[in-house]
Structure 1
Amino acid sequence: MGRRLYRDVLRRAAGLGFRRLLIDADPHAAGFYRAMGAVDSSSESESGSGPGSEPEPGAAADGRLVRFEVAPVPLAGWARAWTGGGAAVHVGNVAEYNAQFADASLDREQRAAHHYACLAAFYSPRPAALVLPRPVPPGWISLLGRQLDWPAGVEVYDGLAERDPGLSQAVRARPALAARLTGTGAPLVPWGLTAPFARLARRPWRPDELRYESKSAAHGLFGRILAEGGHPAITLPAQWRADTRWAAVRLLASRTRAGESTVLKSEHGVGGSGTTVLTPERVRAAGGARAAVRALPRGPLLVEEYVRGPADPAEPRDLTYDGFVDAGGRVHEVGGAVMDVADGGYRGATVGPGVVPGWAEEPLLAFGRAVGTELSAAGYRGWFDVDFVADGAGRLAPTETNLRLTGPSVAFVVAARLDELRGAGHFVRIADRVELGARLPEAAFGELCERLSRRCAAMGAVFLPAIPTGAFEPAPWMGALVAATGRELLDAAERVVRAEALAVGAMFAQADGAQPAGSVARAPSRADAEPDPDACAGTDAATDAGSRSSSKTLSGGRET
């Protein structure tokens, strides 16, 4: 009840135009305000306790109050424009989107894509329903709903396409479900546009909209924008298309002899798949250019000049711009983020005030806006990003566009929601893989997430399990979102999450590395179980006026 009252105060204050709220709290209530996102601004002499410490017994009786500050803000304008300010139906068609490009670098089984479909929970600030290919743990949505203050009764339809990328087609094959999802009046938000999704959402399908998902087409677009002038801090790396392996070998060998590092890319790829950085040392270690190319995915390759990064490893190297084009063709700017990329592979991203270095912010935003204008003119409607690498000389090199949602876009959505609920200034980090020490029983994994939520809240941070289904793989992991109102606190919260995840897994790991008793290979399908309203994936654990919210789950093709 306190949580609801507090959030109502912030909403009303923001609506009235207040931008600063001071709270003089009883020290025994300090933990509550800290968990709600208020920032402790008391000095040690004023409060009798340092930030993060527990009050002494009887402190309240001495009248020593703890001062907190919070900055109430309404939901960001871009977030209201994204879904019209209302709830939306989120369709986790990640595998479906990837499969339409038939690229050899993409996971043919789409196992990873089905895991990343769990990010559908965060496609917009307020989901009305989630449509997912794989079953998800029952308590997952309840935990997210409490943290993000979702309306009671978020409906979850999971287990629809466990072994097939065609999620939209799986929905259309169930006419009652399709009618329910499309008949609410809420917009349908996918990971990315596909022909089956267009049929489901009853929108025109123009495959040419997605032409700049191609890395070579995006490179050509960047060149045309730069040819018009106006972006002096942007540099474009040279790129050559190698239609045969022999052509790629010759180009790589020539650059290696010249002492140059080279980036080899497939035409399409996600999360860095299909992108390989080859230094001269790596080429020689592989046994030469021919051997190095032989190990790469089949299909045409793009050979690209390698952009050397900043000499200081603490300086951000990989940056991204996010925006979207609305149905009317207007480009909305979301912002810039810093990505965590290792050896060409994406591992996560951080968004928040000041994460993009000052020297890079304006060039990044200006070029991102220019790309968005071109995408709009080409007929594209939806979310997009532009990825950059910093060259160490005060310039940014654009490397690709993504015409879909991504990990950074999810972080932006969560940051906007938390700013609205907890006050402005949130940093949000999405970590693609938080390793678990062992596969956990489903109940133990739920307990881990609840415990991490409490531990982070006590620090003034937020923990959200973003990808729970990876926890039931043979090599278990989970995707996670952490948020805080300071960079140091954000780093500390991530350390807590990673350490606790490994420690809990170690409790279940056996000395010989065998699967612990009671563990499961994945979240089990509930299609054959008797319906239990308290165990439904879509049931909100919170009660309102003594009645439980109604919700639905669809698992293995049967509605319960």
Structure 2
Amino acid sequence: MVRIRVARPEEAAALTELVLRSKAHWGYGREFLERCAPELRIDAHEVGPRRVVVAEEGRSAPVGVASLEGDGARGTLGLLFVEPAAIGRGVGRALYRHAVARARELGMRRLVVDADPHAAGFYRALGAEESGGRNGLVRFEVELAPPAAWVGAWTGGRAAVHLGNVAEFNAQFGDASLDREQRAAHHYACLAAFYSPRPAALVLPRPVPAEWLDLLGRQLGWADVEVYDGLAGRGGPGLSAVVRGREALAERLTGLGLPLVPWGHTEEFARLAGLPWRAEALRYESKAEAHALFERIAAAGGHPGIVVPGQWRARTRWAAARLLAGRARAGQDTVLKSEHGVGGSGTTVVTARDVREAGGARAVLRRLPRGPLLVEEYVAGPGPDGVRDLTYDGFVDGSGRVHEVGVALMDVAGTGYRGATTGPGVVPSWAEKPMLAFGEAVGRELAAAGHRGWFDVDFVADGAGGLAPTEANLRLTGPSVAFMAGARLDEVRGGTHLVRVIDRVELGARLPGAQLAELFEATAYGCAELGAVFLPAIPTAAFARAPWIGVVVAARTPEALDAAADLVRSKARAVGEGLRE
């Protein structure tokens, strides 16, 4: 492990020698080094004013040195050198990220780096943006925007314990459209890595590859994340109950004094975390209850552009058939929904033509999962700019205050969620303002009902630019992963990132663990070459019978983001094709 500490004046001479050895590593001759020596020297009286720090590994002598110089809004990374024998072990990355964090603490808004050409690739990979050069050096600049207000409020600015209880959350609703064995839910529990910007521990139902977390740690600047995986068996108790049943583990997780963050709240999680439990607090996870809430808020006024679609509860299949048949005769398309389906499960669009071609409404319904149905008016779109599926994310803190996180553009095929994109300019202004206002209003109602934690409100844009709220989710979601990853990348890399969650990337062949790790490393390298970041989000599904992975990509421009997404898919296809040959 690399540890950063403040340098001492009496170390100045030894640190100067380290700097010169590091510079010489790139093949520079004695004469050149002698000319550079005055600029590279660290004098004892300068150690404090130049904010010199050193990197250590264990109790060894310093293996790296860096300085952060300047005052006001603009700082300079004056030095960053690593002992040649320690290059490649993460020392330079640790020093750089320490300098970025310290500069932000000091109120600096821009950090300038004049880098040796041999180190240019290192700074590019860490997110610094090239801005020219002078005297044979390559100049980089790093924007240091303050974090969004919600970041500090979510977990109090601290690391957190993340509990991947996706299956446990889904099971409490018993929705007929959900997989009874919760196979997919256990894979999606890997998203626990992104339940906050900085995990201290992950608790997971299935075993995960160690290489997966190592790559995430390097990309996101995590250190010493504890992992407790393989805790849930098929058909067994929920993850929170398993943890509670292991006394030493429960004491360890709750004794860290850090927030416990689940995918969603359950009675068992409340017992584990020592929180009050009210099942009523989740009432608006129901699509029918959420719809009624949307109607009340819209009827109260103040939300122009929000159009709530009609919805009717069909208590029997006969009642659903009559409603569907009547709408089809009128030439109207319909959305059929189960009460608590997730990610598009249990939601089906049925056109008037579908009903005719199937031979009637009853024939259509026989193809759907059993259980009560909601019959909803279909909203024809897309809206302006081709925008169709959108979402608002926010959360309610422990005191009942609503915090706005932001809005995202979702990728939905039919009714199935495939991913989301967040970042500046992703959602057009005509949609952003009404979404933020309506999402805030929903959040206040959720808080009044007792909900504490993350929530979202999904919208569909119609052809006239209206926004139809379609459901609320009282838990973490795919878009929330993008917000968390973006917040962390902004912190450790500077600037502001566009982030895209790709829910499923098909592999075409099951991969051995070693080959999956190679795929991840090669993809991360390729994305870095494009100026993007690759974060594997769901690795365990690569070992499923029909293998796939979930991923996150991030970049600062739409072009780089699209290129990275294309690269991820092409790498996945190539591996599958290679195994079949």
Common topology (TM > 0.5): yes
Structure 2 partner of 1:248: 320
Structure 1 partner of 2:311: 239
Structure 1 partner of 2:193: 121
Structure 2 partner of 1:9: 99
Structure 1 partner of 2:24: none
Report whether the alignment pairs 1:305 with 2:377.
yes
Provide Cα deviations, 1:243-296, integer angstroms capped at 9, x if missing partner. 111111111111111111100000111101110011122223333211111111
Cα distance in 2 between the residues matched to 1:311 and 1:328: 37
Structure 1 partner of 2:264: 192
> Contact 2:216/2:535 (CA < 8 Å) preserved in 1?
yes
* Unpaired runs of at least 5, structure 1: 48-61, 511-560
Structure 2 partner of 1:35: 125
Q: Determine what percentage of the aligned residue pairs are the same residue.
A: 71
> Contact 2:383/2:466 (CA < 8 Å) preserved in 1?
no
Cα distance in 1 between the residues matched to 2:286 and 2:495: 36
Cα distance in 2 between the residues matched to 1:376 and 1:205: 14
1:18 to 108, 111, 129: 108
SS in structure 2 of the partner of residue 85 of structure 1:
coil
**Higher mean C-alpha displacement, 269-278 vs 31-40:** 31-40
Provide Cα deviations, 1:385-408, integer angstroms capped at 9, x if missing partner. 000001121211100100000010
SS in structure 1 of the partner of residue 386 of structure 2:
coil
SS in structure 2 of the partner of residue 337 of structure 1:
strand
Task: Give the letter aligned to residue 428 of structure 1.
Answer: V
1:378 to 449, 455, 459: 449
Structure 2 partner of 1:476: 547
Cα distance in 2 between the residues matched to 1:453 and 1:310: 34
Cα distance in 1 between the residues matched to 2:126 and 2:304: 44
Cα distance in 2 between the residues matched to 1:272 and 1:416: 27
1:448 to 514, 519, 538: 519
TM-score (norm. length: structure 2):
0.82
Task: Give the letter aligned to residue 301 of structure 1.
Answer: L
Higher helix share: 2
Task: Give the letter aligned to residue 460 of structure 1.
Answer: G
TM alignment of 1:332-351, pairs within 5 A = 332-351=403-422
Cα distance in 2 between the residues matched to 1:115 and 1:473: 9
> Contact 1:15/1:74 (CA < 8 Å) preserved in 2?
no
Cα distance in 1 between the residues matched to 2:141 and 2:319: 61
1:105 to 177, 196, 215: 177
> Contact 1:37/1:485 (CA < 8 Å) preserved in 2?
no
> Contact 2:531/2:555 (CA < 8 Å) preserved in 1?
yes
Structure 2 partner of 1:390: 461
TM alignment of 1:238-387, pairs within 5 A = 238-310=310-382, 315-387=386-458
Cα distance in 1 between the residues matched to 2:490 and 2:460: 28
User: Residues 392 and 40 from structure 1, CA distance in 2 versus in 1: closer, same or farther, beyond 3 angstroms?
Assistant: farther
SS in structure 1 of the partner of residue 412 of structure 2:
strand
**Higher mean C-alpha displacement, 18-27 vs 156-165:** 18-27
**Higher mean C-alpha displacement, 107-116 vs 445-454:** 445-454
The Cα of 1:101 is off from its aligned counterpart by 0.2
Provide Cα deviations, 1:154-209, integer angstroms capped at 9, x if missing partner. 11111111313511111111111111111111111000000111111111110000
1:407 to 470, 478, 484: 478
Structure 1 partner of 2:489: 418
SS in structure 2 of the partner of residue 90 of structure 1:
strand
* Unpaired runs of at least 5, structure 2: 1-90
> Contact 1:75/1:417 (CA < 8 Å) preserved in 2?
no
**What is the RMSD of the two structures over their aligned residues, measured on CA atoms?**
1.5
Task: Give the letter aligned to residue 153 of structure 2.
Answer: A
Cα distance in 1 between the residues matched to 2:415 and 2:281: 26
Report whether the alignment pairs 1:463 with 2:553.
no
TM-score (norm. length: structure 1):
0.85
Cα distance in 2 between the residues matched to 1:235 and 1:227: 10
Task: Give the letter aligned to residue 133 of structure 1.
Answer: P
Structure 2 partner of 1:486: 557
> Contact 2:383/2:462 (CA < 8 Å) preserved in 1?
no
Task: Give the letter aligned to residue 230 of structure 1.
Answer: G
Task: Give the letter aligned to residue 392 of structure 1.
Answer: G
SS in structure 2 of the partner of residue 271 of structure 1:
coil
Structure 1 partner of 2:28: none
Cα distance in 2 between the residues matched to 1:110 and 1:501: 25
The Cα of 1:65 is off from its aligned counterpart by 4.6
Does 1 or 2 have the higher relative contact order (CA < 8 Å, sep 6+)? 1
Task: Give the letter aligned to residue 255 of structure 2.
Answer: G
Structure 1 partner of 2:13: none
Task: Give the letter aligned to residue 295 of structure 2.
Answer: G
Task: Give the letter aligned to residue 477 of structure 1.
Answer: W
The Cα of 1:73 is off from its aligned counterpart by 2.8
The Cα of 1:219 is off from its aligned counterpart by 0.5
User: Residues 37 and 165 from structure 1, CA distance in 2 versus in 1: closer, same or farther, beyond 3 angstroms?
Assistant: farther
TM alignment of 1:209-224, pairs within 5 A = 209-224=281-296
Cα distance in 1 between the residues matched to 2:357 and 2:115: 63
Cα distance in 1 between the residues matched to 2:364 and 2:92: 60
Structure 2 partner of 1:527: none
The Cα of 1:315 is off from its aligned counterpart by 1.9
The Cα of 1:29 is off from its aligned counterpart by 2.8
**Higher mean C-alpha displacement, 3-12 vs 20-29:** 20-29
The Cα of 1:133 is off from its aligned counterpart by 0.5
Cα distance in 1 between the residues matched to 2:238 and 2:413: 31
SS in structure 1 of the partner of residue 421 of structure 2:
strand
SS in structure 1 of the partner of residue 94 of structure 2:
helix
User: Residues 287 and 41 from structure 1, CA distance in 2 versus in 1: closer, same or farther, beyond 3 angstroms?
Assistant: farther
Q: Which has the larger radius of gyration?
A: 2
SS in structure 1 of the partner of residue 210 of structure 2:
coil
The Cα of 1:368 is off from its aligned counterpart by 0.4
Size of the alignment, in residue pairs?
490
Provide Cα deviations, 1:196-250, integer angstroms capped at 9, x if missing partner. 1111111111000000000010001011111110001111000011111111111
TM alignment of 1:485-504, pairs within 5 A = 485-504=556-575
> Contact 2:511/2:543 (CA < 8 Å) preserved in 1?
yes
Task: Give the letter aligned to residue 410 of structure 2.
Answer: M
Report whether the alignment pairs 1:433 with 2:504.
yes
> Contact 2:381/2:463 (CA < 8 Å) preserved in 1?
yes
User: Residues 311 and 129 from structure 1, CA distance in 2 versus in 1: closer, same or farther, beyond 3 angstroms?
Assistant: closer
Cα distance in 2 between the residues matched to 1:467 and 1:114: 10
Task: Give the letter aligned to residue 239 of structure 2.
Answer: L
SS in structure 2 of the partner of residue 340 of structure 1:
strand
> Contact 1:114/1:162 (CA < 8 Å) preserved in 2?
no
Structure 2 partner of 1:204: 276
TM alignment of 1:24-173, pairs within 5 A = 24-42=114-132, 63=135, 65-151=137-223, 153-163=224-234, 164=236, 166-173=238-245
Task: Give the letter aligned to residue 148 of structure 2.
Answer: A
SS in structure 2 of the partner of residue 369 of structure 1:
helix
